Structure 1
């Protein structure tokens, strides 16, 4: 009989520098020639549901000044190339990933990890972050490595899915899943309000999870991907000469609402909406959470963990849903049924069902 996979531990980490207020000021400064549009942007930014977002690099002192970052790499009219941004990723991402893994407090058990899964869509390098994690965190050099790259915000669900399959096929497996994203590296100069509002969603963050057959924590039950029809252009993530270019259409919440309204039965299987106790929803933005809430008829408390993660951290791409799941793991009661979901390019919803194996 196949073993069941359990998320035993989750640890999360953000960098030291809170850049949210500065970022709003910088974004508004790009509209200084049009006070009316600047006022519209500022009003919409204040309604984002976000109070803090973190970056691996400190911001400059003045959001109206010549540079965005303290080191002067992001200078007005001369933002860095993709090559420079990838150098910054290679410098900072392993440090942030290690911070999350260290908080798992694996101790000598780090050497018992058999599989390492890393998700990221904000940086590319080889030798990569997987080898850095092995060296920094005391894993065996022979650990089996997998990188899930460029899948966007839902990649953490795919990492859990891989871990689920690995443990089910090998009950002795001990899988470390690490999600690390430096979204703020891809800031661009623009006067497009929709794109400016997208930029002030993003923060840097990392999560680390231990998945094994030991029956404690959160049991992973099933997975299902749902693709919204005729939605490929609503959310895209492409590599350009001046960084990675995220397009996040204002139609995304409506597409999510319509897709969940018609496909939630497929996601839940034989469970009804009223049987779900926990909703681990990726907070892609306030409007996304509002759309999920409306489409499923959830009460205001159901998405509280997601809204709190958004408020404190913004959208950290693949790491974000793991922050939500970490909160649920820490405050779980026995025998709760949960549904997790994260959204990304496609437009795709990667979803999973889970239940709590014990109380916290």
Structure 2
């Protein structure tokens, strides 16, 4: 019996804020020497759209009714916004799975690193969706962009130990709640990448979708300071160093055998790479010698949605699953704090 990722549903909020943010950042950096570099990197980001639960309106003293120049909101205010919007978006994603009998769900696994509340999304979804009140719930918090891999790993272990289990995985991130009032170029470039989104997935023993074959991870030594995520007085503070792409590429080259075995990547034709940004995708493509076709699903998601932290990889897997042939081998990969690369081997259902 092999656990399978049966189906995926994705959802985004209504506001496309990418162009407005670029205008806001350009205005903010206008008096600094960083502006020419920001403009150049923004034009090369390969991101056309990012979505937010907030309507960000571009330059000016009031960027939105939340982000007012000189009066950016407290962490408490941001968490109140999280509680207002998070479960609605999660419910939309789950209902998109079109599960005939939601009461048949036995386990719920939630990933999120952009908001905290209790009772949280897990219990609210149980109530809204009419799930069995005895459903087992797990929340994976603050693991960042690779959290969906860990959620799928947990779902696989669950189904292997309980073959009748039906595991609902929900990855929900509202990254735009954490915009900071800053002139720091590296911080501003981080905000240029991130958007909001949610993905839901069903994992069971039913041999439909993608067979989940195994998981491996590697942490690159000496890189712990390159991706960090901490709670501050005005939201959560992200550090995404410009050294990350180089470290990702080096880690994949150094640990190629431990991740892929002595046969390497030759037998793998499907790739779901977390689009942490254009330069991260470039680093992975170069390190593993992947074709433009192999990288296409990841680049498509980056262009249409940006980086939605843990939800993003499931957006990519949704595209990959649609074209997977029976027995075709694949690898999913995401990167986050540590600096750690989490990988999942899969194949098209027979």
- Bigger drift between 344-353 and 129-138 goes to 129-138
Shift of residue 125, structure 1, vs aligned partner: 0.3
Deviation at 1:67, TM superposition (A): 1.4
Aligned-pair RMSD on alpha carbons?
1.0
Q: Map of 1:1-360 to 2, 5 A cutoff?
A: 3-34=1-32, 36-60=33-57, 63-69=58-64, 72-107=65-100, 109-269=101-261, 271-358=263-350
Matched residue of 1:166: which SS? helix
For residues 28-84 of structure 1, give each alpha carbon's deviation from its aligned partner in whole angstroms, at most 9, with x where no partner exists. 1111213x5322211210100100000012123xx2221122xx2210011000000
Question: Within 2, Cα distance between the matches of 1:114 and 1:224?
Answer: 26
Give the CA deviation at 1:4: 1.4
Q: How far off its partner does 1:225 sit?
A: 1.2
Q: Is the 8 A contact 1:121 1:151 kept in 2?
A: yes
Q: Distance in 2 between matches of 1:354 and 1:95?
A: 31
Moved over 3 A (4+): none
Contact 2:25 2:59 in 1 (8 A): no
Q: Deviations over 1:265-317 (max 9, x none)?
A: 21123543110011111000000000000101112211110000000000000
Per the normalisation by structure 1, the TM-score is: 0.95
Cα shift at 1:219: 0.5
The answer as to whether partners of 1:30 and 1:189 remain within 8 angstroms in 2 is no
What residue ranges of structure 1 are gaps of 5+ in the alignment?
A: none
**Under a length normalisation based on structure 2, what TM-score does the superposition of the two structures give?**
0.98
SS at structure 1 position matched to 2:266: helix
Helix, strand or coil: the match of 1:304?
helix
